[in-house]
Amino acid sequence: MQVQFTVNGKRTSLDVAPNTLLVQALREHLHLTGTHVGCDTAQCGACTVMVNGRSIKSCNVLAAQVQGADITTIEGLAEADGTMHPMQAAFKDCHGLQCGFCTTGMVMSAVDLVQNYPGASEQQIRELLEGNMCRCTGYQNIVKAVQQGQAAMQAA
């Protein structure tokens, strides 16, 4: 079947099997490997992307379900000149990553969090990131990164 959507500002058309997951379409068909496959059960959040401005776990959404949608992956957050998104820069500055496997999903979820819960407290950030797992236990620095990214996004 053919699916059409916009990924990181580029209109895309793919021929995929009806059971192709969005994460597979992004990684295997479009070679956007920043979106990670972690658990395959929507538990870890490593596959998080933005669809029409909201974060979703792409491992439990079929590519066909996002027909016509606007999708942003981690590769699409930075500016065209390579300038990092404020949340990406905050994760770097605050050492909000260790092995890096969860980082892309955390960043995408954090951007959604700030857009939909401006001024979230530390406790709210912790609760709203609950669907993303860091197996390296880097949560303290992740929360600091989200707070710094939140301030930068709101100042922009």
Query: Band of the pLDDT at 144, cuts 50, 70, 90?
Result: very high
Number of Cβ atoms within 10 Å of the Cβ of 123: 9
Q: Does the pLDDT at position 68 exceed 80?
A: yes
Q: Does the pLDDT at position 147 exceed 80?
A: yes
Number of Cβ atoms within 10 Å of the Cβ of 146: 28
The proportion of the chain whose per-residue pLDDT surpasses 70, expressed as a percent, equals 100
Which residue shows structure tokens 């909201």? 54
Number of Cβ atoms within 10 Å of the Cβ of 34: 17
Q: Is the CB of residue 102 less than 8 Å from the CB of residue 47?
A: no
Of 23, 27, 25, nearest to 13 (Cα)?
25
Name the DSSP letter for residue 85. P
User: Stretch 92-113: mean pLDDT, rounded?
Assistant: 93
User: Stretch 32-46: mean pLDDT, rounded?
Assistant: 89
Tokens matching residue 84 = 């990092």
Q: Edge-to-edge strand order for the sheet containing 2-7? A: 10-15, 2-7, 70-72, 48-51, 54-57
pLDDT of residue 101: 85
Q: What's the distance, CA 119 to chain centroid?
A: 20
Tokens matching residue 22 = 């969005």
pLDDT of residue 103: 93
Of 27, 9, 105, nearest to 63 (Cα)?
27
Domains of the chain: 2-76 (3.10.20.30), 86-155 (1.10.150.120)
User: Stretch 38-67: mean pLDDT, rounded?
Assistant: 93
Q: Does the pLDDT at position 41 exceed 90?
A: no
User: Stretch 77-106: mean pLDDT, rounded?
Assistant: 93
Quote the mean pLDDT of the chain.
94
User: Stretch 59-64: mean pLDDT, rounded?
Assistant: 96
User: Stretch 112-133: mean pLDDT, rounded?
Assistant: 93
The whole-angstrom separation of Cα 67 and Cα 87 is 28
